[in-house]
Amino acid sequence: MNIFRFAGDMTHLISILVLLLKIYATKSCSGISLKTQELYALVFLTRYLDLFTDFISVYNTIMKLVFIASSLAVVCCMRMHRVVRRSYDKDLDTFRHYFLILASFVLALLVNEKFTFQEIFWAFSIYLEALAILPQLVLLQRSGNVDNLTGQYVFFLGAYRAFYILNWIYRYFTEQHFSRWIACVSGLVQTVLYADFFYYYFISWKNNAKMQLPA
């Protein structure tokens, strides 16, 4: 464990807590893509298949349970809660996310560390995580403005990826056998996807204006 990875896990956890805070505090999920949340829940469920078979550390197990529980909580809240679900931008959140699932699965069948059930689903979850933010970014683009908590949510998600890239660089130089090239390449793609959002987030923060994404 290094400070970059720990910081990455904490900002990842904060991003989910910010999301839960926004939904419970405002009793609204406007500006949040349900599809992105469903994709994230799928990412955690398919990545942590080894939750009960491989014990790595108490921290690792607890964080896996927290990520699975919180991502499912967001999806259930957005789908079930009678007040929250009314504020869901159903007609804006129209990204065909099934294509993302299919593309990630096909890629996982072709590119994986070992052609076993667990490894294929692990690679699938890595590829899907890189693409999962797309429906959310498209929704923000369409809704034009980004309210503070949603902007912070995407910001913390981006920070989590950036810390993980620092973690991989650190591990590359400190561990001789370290070779997580699938996660590294996919993580880089994911961070690039955030880059344009960060650009507009920074511009709006600098101008102290409400964040406007170009239509």
Q: Which residues bind other proteins (CB under 8 A)?
A: 5, 9, 12, 50, 54, 56-57, 60, 63-64, 67, 113-114, 119, 122, 164, 167, 177-180, 183
Least spacing, CB of residue 9 vs other proteins, in Å = 6
Least spacing, CB of residue 198 vs other proteins, in Å = 22
63 vs 92, beta carbon nearer other proteins: 63
Q: For residue 105, how many C-alpha atoms fall within 13 Å in the half-sphere facing its CB?
A: 10
118 vs 204, beta carbon nearer other proteins: 118
Residue 160 exposed, middle or buried by CB count within 10 Å (0-12, 13-18, 19+): buried
Instruction: Compute φ and ψ for 145, nearest 5 degrees.
Output: -100, 155
Q: List b or e across 185-201, with b for residues whose CB sees 16 or more CB atoms inside 10 angstroms.
A: ebbeebbebbeebbebb
51 vs 193, beta carbon nearer other proteins: 51
Instruction: Check if the beta carbon of residue 8 is closer than 8 Å to that of residue 86.
Output: no
Least spacing, CB of residue 128 vs other proteins, in Å = 15
- The position carrying tokens 């469903």 is 38
89 vs 119, beta carbon nearer other proteins: 119
Least spacing, CB of residue 188 vs other proteins, in Å = 15
